[in-house]
Amino acid sequence: MNQMREQAEHFGAQIEYDDVVSVDLSGDIKRITTDGGEEYQTRAVVITTGSQYRKLEIPGEREFSGRGVSYCATCDGFFFKNKPIVVVGGGDSAMSDADFLTRFGSSVTLIHRRQGFRASKIMVDRAKANDKISFLLDSVVTRINGDGSGVTSLDVRNTATGQQSNIPANGVFVAIGFTPQTAFFNGQVDLDQDGYILVKGGSTKTSVPGVFAAGDVTDKIYRQAISAAGMGCRAALDAQEYLTSLDNR
């Protein structure tokens, strides 16, 4: 990461550590205001604010994050070889994570707060056909328990009966969605129904001329560092082309 920063600085990038709190993207000159009170004026903007995974917000989640609690099955599944795994969620990500994690876990239990799933039928059918996956429905995890070695079990409450239970688990994969960091654009860039920035075709151009977007803030499918970095490079090229076209006007 340091090397990437040094390389950017070597080519003239100036890096400021602050939060953007508001933007004005109308007109040829865009204005970016930060929490520290600075206002930046620019002819081109590249948005790479990413997306934040949603948390369960229950006791033990933060404490055992990275020590059994994970938000990325493809990144961390391998660490739970032959261990009991729980996936929390009911969407396509939860189904595909559960399916993927059966390669590693001694068992995979999918816990979902309702009977019905938001996931597509094909994903639910695939998970149900996998006999290494069991389903705990109408259920919510209320506490993640563990010790010095990491997560050991979960407290679970049945939402229909109120009954409490404790199930063993060493890996807990939280798959309850992501929130793209786009709130502060305040409707100035076109977003999709889930709040991700829409880009045109295979480019990084947004609905606003001179404003480009790349990485997870545009991508709810792959969410990988390499694809985000590659798209960031394309955004730089698109921005450069845009600035050149302004200079040639």
Which residues carry out catalysis?
72, 75-76
Q: How many residues bind ligand FAD (CB under 6 A)?
A: 19
- The interface region with ligand FAD, picked from 77-85, 86-94, 143-151, 222-230 by CB under 6 A, is 222-230
Q: Is 20 in the site for ligand FAD (CB under 6 A)?
A: yes
The answer to whether residues 122 and 99 touch, using CB atoms and an 8 Å cutoff, is no
The one among 44, 46, 60, 71 contacting ligand FAD by CB under 6 A: 71
- Give the other-Cβ count within 10 Å of 102's Cβ: 17
- 126, 95 contact by CB (below 8 A): yes
Give the Cα separation of 71 and 54 in Å (integer): 9
- Tell which one of 109, 153, 170, 181 touches ligand FAD (CB under 6 A): 181
174 binds ligand FAD (CB under 6 A): no
CA distance 174 to 57: 11
Site string for ligand FAD, 33-52 (x = CB under 6 A): ---------------xxx--
Q: Nearest-5° angle of CA 168, CA 172, CA 178?
A: 155
3-state secondary structure of 173: strand
Provide the sign of the torsion angle of the four alpha carbons 232, 233, 236, 242, taken in this order: negative
Among 6, 16, 19, 131, binds ligand FAD (CB under 6 A): 19
Choices 134-142, 169-177, 214-222, 241-249 (CB under 6 A): range interacting with ligand FAD:
214-222
User: How far apart are CB 231 and ligand FAD at their closest, in Å?
Assistant: 8
Residue 72 binds ligand FAD (CB under 6 A): yes
- Which ranges in the chain belong to alpha helices (H)? 2-10, 73-76, 92-101, 121-129, 225-247
- Note whether 225 binds ligand FAD by CB under 6 A: yes
Give the nearer residue to ligand FAD in terms of CB position, either 59 or 230.
Answer: 230
